[in-house]
Chain A
């Protein structure tokens, strides 16, 4: 089939026209506004292509699809499945962006989930999650003959005496801890200030690295360190060089733990990724006084636009004004800032007796 043959098109103002259009070519339909171009291209050609496709579906499936009338045309031959790219049928949802429509954002999410390097949102340090094997590899790689200290940070920057915790460690037979950077023997009595923030790291093991023979011990010590701290181990050499290891995505400094890094974390249309404040819209609603207050009028004249004309609200307003000695007769813009604040935001839960039919108490608005 080399062409699309249209016979007897009469949709809208088309005058029973017949023509054939070459296939696999760039065809332009032109004419003055209202001449029937769209009637031919969309209401006849595209509508028929789409209708034929729909016809091929089962009646059950068709009930879910919008109705498509048969265009007013005798016959169309050689029509292939048609796709319309018009300007009207387009997503107008603010959750759709250029990135999501083009699917570029979906691929970006995948890229970030696989290759992105997580950082602690509060401390800004890079966070890495590693398998135990990889950790052992890194510790062994610190160098032959080095002495490495393996710490388990059990308390990170929190207030308290931690008497019980230290006693527990003592009983379990641990020897040393590092408190706020200073190494202490658990044999001595340790007193720490209750009102200050402390970091307590348990010294799990000291290992002298010699070739590959110590991997079993490194593994055991790391496992212990990770277990005691909930997933973080600190490894330092005698020279002070160090690294923080974690088997989860957790911040070595503050311990903030990361959710699983999957593509959905980067989707603002998923509760796993969206900003909790704006639910992923990027903007929040706020009440702009400019929209409901006419600054030129006084309260008595109805400065609060939606309340003007209501005796009920006027009563409340008068009561409140009397209570806080607000002048109801000056234009709103001339009121003192504090009075404006009371009117707009309320005074914060103070009960004011509202004289009324039922003598009920109303709060300041």
Chain B
């Protein structure tokens, strides 16, 4: 089954009577399908009789104030009929922010999780102003954020670190921006002061060919021809709603998926796709969690667990008892703890009080039964191995090449601190993404794979962005093609090729505004991405010349 626009209401969702009630010649659906900015304009231009004005005045005020909040958080391009599932996490969060600002409550502590996610730098300022206005009416606003501009706008900064996982959890620095910068061991401070920077690559790679899409016209795309260079790292940029995802995911990815895997996804409208001979695999690396169950963990996901279990099953102790590899999985009946069934914790229901989770008494939280734990490799049992961090495990398995090589890749993507058995539910989006990338890196390179990433820097600290760029560069070095949709300037400047969409969001977007190397785009006066790039490329180029 597939869905199609309802033939009766044409997507308006309402019965014809409701759609025949008009204000200034427009039905409620006509209005709801406009962007917030357009609705604001429409409401402003309403011609009302004095009687109508008296009736509608308060309603109009409410509508206008809410629309204004929506535009202030940079969502003026959103149509009112956009459904909740079609919104990105960042958009959804900013909508909630807009409603909060509208509530005008005071004395509240607001806690926000990375509100600038997915915002073009152009819209950042407006969002920060919204946060400040929330503060100014008497609220405490606590923001978890990596964005430099937001950090600089803060009244008070807390830098948690210094590393991740077990190496983190301390307050490294606190105070104003100056206090943070002064702290020698604060990574954030290092990036803020400019002592640490992500270097601009000295050379841009040359493409090995091109994939061409002709006549792309899905959503707001304006019948455009785009060619994506192969064998290089391409970044697709543009303000929110300019058509980046429509072009890269809906059109390019789905069209290739259909061709290569006979996928049944709906492909964005386009006339012709050519030049894809050099591609035999297309992978979309998303930031979705690697698993929503605590039974999934980095070891199971990356496939390291299988050779580890095989290894344990081959040990003499296991052989004597006839243990198969399955015995060493906490998901299989033979090996797991019979009380907690391999969960490690037991849920005690307290009826009208919250349920309480207690560590399993039988296994002490290690998930296995005692017979299984008797089998030891180099003095460690399977539970102890799962409790190792990636770097500890890499040392422990240094003589087992096929396990070691996978662990090395996890270290390379900067995940040396996670524990092999850490439940997938406790991994952050950035960590999940890098685990997925590590799985790609450990595959044998065909050099013909196209990787697509939609805003991979979401939720990443400066230093995590640096690690991510390293991984992407390595994937490209292996001969693959990488296409990234991104707002982050550090990623944009590190790309070999940029495709800038725009000029605005929604109906005013859907064109390719500029393309070429970062330097070429920076030179383009019509591109807003270009003007941000100019600022960031210029001093560094001068700097590097100065050093030579």
Contacts and interface: CB of A to CB of B under 8 A. Distances in A.
Interface of A: 4, 12-15, 17, 19, 21-42, 45-46, 49, 59-60, 62-63, 66-69, 79-88, 90-99, 101-105, 107-112, 114-121, 124, 258-259, 261, 265-266, 268, 273-278, 280-288, 290-291
6 contacts: A36-B160, A101-B95, A114-B59, A117-B23, A280-B13, A287-B1
Contact of B20 (A90, A107, A110, A119): A119
Contacts of A41: 111, 113, 142, 144
A349 B107 CA distance: 70
B138 interface: yes
Interface in B1-51: 1-9, 11-23, 28, 31-32, 36, 39, 48
**Nearest 7 pairs of A and B residues by beta carbon:** A67-B354, A34-B164, A35-B168, A99-B80, A63-B352, A268-B13, A275-B9
B32 A30 contact: no
Interface of B is mostly: mixed
A98 B36 CA distance: 9
A14 B169 contact: yes
Given A83-B109, A97-B83, A115 B52 contact: yes
Contacts of A86: 93, 111-113
Given A25-B155, A25-B156, A114-B59, A268 B82 contact: no
Contacts of A19: 158, 171, 174
Contact of A33 (B11, B39, B142, B431): B431
Contacts of B56: 111, 114-115
A265 B20 CA distance: 11
Contacts of B428: 33-34, 38
Interface stretch (B268-276, B363-371, B457-465): B457-465
Interface of B: 1-9, 11-23, 28, 31-32, 36, 39, 48, 52, 55-56, 59-60, 62-63, 66-67, 69-70, 75, 78-85, 87, 89-90, 92-93, 95-100, 102, 107-115, 117, 131-132, 135, 138-146, 150-151, 153-166, 168-172, 174, 187-188, 264, 351-356, 417-418, 426, 428, 430-431, 459-461, 463-464
A134 to B, nearest CB: 12
Contacts of A90: 84, 87, 89, 92-93, 96
A288 B2 contact: yes
Contact of B111 (A13, A24, A42): A42
B59 A107 contact: yes
A29 B19 CA distance: 48
Nearest to B31: A108
A265 B67 CA distance: 23
Contacts of B95: 98, 101-102
B7 A277 contact: yes
Contacts of A121: 16-17, 19-20
A11 to B, nearest CB: 9
Contacts of B60: 111
A283 to B, nearest CB: 4
Contacts of A117: 21-23
Given A87-B90, A111-B59, A121-B20, A26 B144 contact: no
Contact of A26 (B82, B99, B141, B169): B141
Contact of B145 (A29, A96, A119, A258): A29
Given A26-B132, A105-B80, A278 B8 contact: yes
Contact of A31 (B12, B63, B166, B172): B172
